[in-house]
Copies of this chain bind each other. A is one copy, B any other.
Amino acid sequence: MRARVTVYPRREILDPQGKAIHQALERIGFAGVRDVRAGKSFEIELDGGDAAAAERLLAEMSEKLLVNPVVEDYTVELLPGEPS
């Protein structure tokens, strides 16, 4: 089972990295960018094929290790197929 945990700063928290990238994109000529948020992505491969069990485990990993819930939000997605 392959999954991805995506972690972003909470909407109400400043995202200075996203803001810096937004400004840099404009500086090098990209117009029409409304917003950039910068976060982290973890691709995790687990033994076993039970989707519900994997989602529970990944939520637990996120809350214990991957995410700081005071300032970050996360989403868990199960990915199809084998590792690229």
A39-55 at interface with B (beta carbon < 8 Å): 39-48
With A28-B64, A36-B43, A37-B42 given, name 20 new contacts (CB 8 A).
Answer: A4-B6, A6-B6, A6-B41, A7-B41, A8-B43, A18-B42, A21-B42, A24-B65, A25-B61, A28-B65, A30-B57, A32-B57, A33-B44, A34-B45, A35-B44, A36-B42, A36-B45, A37-B43, A38-B42, A40-B41
- Chosen A-B contacts, 23 in total, with CB atoms closer than 8 Å, are A8-B41, A8-B43, A11-B84, A21-B42, A21-B65, A24-B65, A25-B61, A25-B65, A28-B64, A30-B57, A30-B60, A30-B61, A32-B48, A32-B57, A33-B44, A34-B46, A35-B43, A36-B45, A39-B41, A39-B42, A39-B43, A40-B40, A41-B41
